[in-house]
Amino acid sequence: MSKDFSLSCPVPHAPGETVTLAHGSGGRLMHQLIGRIFLSAFTDPALHEAHDGARLEPCQDRLAFTTDSFVVRPLFFPGGDIGSLAVHGTCNDLAMCGAQPMYLSCGFIIEEGLALSALDAVAKSMAAAADEVGVRIVTGDTKVVERGKGDGLYLNTAGVGRIVAPNPVSPDRVKPGQLVIVSGDVGAHGAAILSVREGLKFETALKSDAAHLWPAVRELLEAEADVACLRDLTRGGLATALNEIAQKAGCAITIDEEKVPVRPEVEGACEMFGLDPLYMACEGRLAAFVPPDHGDRTLAALKAAGGSPVVIGTVGEKPAGEVRLKTRIGVERVLDMLSGEQLPRIC
Smallest separation (angstroms) from a second copy to the CB of 330? 27
Of 156, 101, 95, nearest in space to 286 by CA: 95
Smallest separation (angstroms) from a second copy to the CB of 286? 10
Q: Name, in order, each residue with C-beta under 8 angstroms of 240's C-beta and a sequence gap of 6 or more.
A: 279, 337, 338
Smallest separation (angstroms) from a second copy to the CB of 300? 24
| CB closer to a second copy, 52 vs 131 | 52
| CB closer to a second copy, 67 vs 308 | 67
Helix (H) or strand (E) holding 249: helix 237-249
| Secondary structure (3-state) at 65 | strand
Smallest separation (angstroms) from a second copy to the CB of 236? 3
Under a CB-based contact definition with an 8 Å cutoff, are residues 202 and 195 in contact? yes
The whole-angstrom separation of Cα 311 and Cα 67 is: 30
| CB closer to a second copy, 204 vs 236 | 236
| CB closer to a second copy, 195 vs 342 | 342
Smallest separation (angstroms) from a second copy to the CB of 327? 21
| CB closer to a second copy, 204 vs 333 | 333
Of 176, 274, 180, 266, nearest in space to 227 by CA: 180
| CB closer to a second copy, 241 vs 262 | 241
| CB closer to a second copy, 331 vs 339 | 339
The whole-angstrom separation of Cα 121 and Cα 97 is: 30
| CB closer to a second copy, 195 vs 234 | 234
Smallest separation (angstroms) from a second copy to the CB of 172? 7
Of 254, 261, 245, nearest in space to 307 by CA: 261
What does DSSP say about strands 99-111 and 136-145: parallel, antiparallel, or unpaired? parallel
Give the burial string for 65-104 (b: 16+ CB within 10 Å, else e): ebebebbbeebebbbbbbbbbbbbbbbbbbbbbbbbbbbb
Query: Which pairs from 304-308 meet CB under 8 Å and 24+ separation?
Result: 304/219, 304/223, 305/183, 305/215, 305/216, 305/218, 305/219, 306/215, 306/216, 307/183, 307/184, 307/216, 308/183, 308/184, 308/185, 308/261
Smallest separation (angstroms) from a second copy to the CB of 207? 19
| Count of CB atoms situated within 10 Å of the CB of 161 | 27
Smallest separation (angstroms) from a second copy to the CB of 136? 10
| CB closer to a second copy, 129 vs 160 | 160
The whole-angstrom separation of Cα 57 and Cα 254 is: 44
Smallest separation (angstroms) from a second copy to the CB of 186? 14
